[in-house]
Structure 1
Amino acid sequence: MQKEVEIYKDLADIQGKHIPKLICYGYYGGGMSFVIGMTIAGTSLSEHKITKRQRSKALKGLEAIHKHGILHNDIREETS
């Protein structure tokens, strides 16, 4: 999870616009677990019909992430 925090720090200028804001992070239980708090949480998109507008917004967010030199590497129907 430390890697995810570092990535979110790199993406600070698009947090809240294209990706959820990182609001807190840290170790819990003497460093045994890592906790990340973000502004939104959701369910698998496979449970919902995605509109063209939502798909367009998702693609814009992914493009913004790519412009920061970060690749998601796990975009597929099961995770989107």
Structure 2
Amino acid sequence: MILQLKVKPSSKQEGVTLDGDIVVVKVKERPVEGKANKAVIALLAKKLKIAKGCIEIISGKGSKLKRVKIDCADEDEITMKLKEA
């Protein structure tokens, strides 16, 4: 499954929410040397309860708008976990 992400680095609180079809990911890390990207992967893996190796940023590594590819889980399961509070 491929997800569209909007990343908000340097946030005070971390979290994953849905805004229409876009997943908003807030991370505390600053966008320096890929730290925010690593934090995005770690946070998504925790939220979806899958391994970090199952998530890959396929575009937008230097941008706030990213596309990620998620393996190891089916689309319905991912959608359900993202909708959970």
Q: How does the TM-score come out when normalised to structure 1? A: 0.29
Choose 1 or 2 for highest CA Rg: 1
Higher helix share: 1
Q: How does the TM-score come out when normalised to structure 2? A: 0.28
Higher strand share: 2
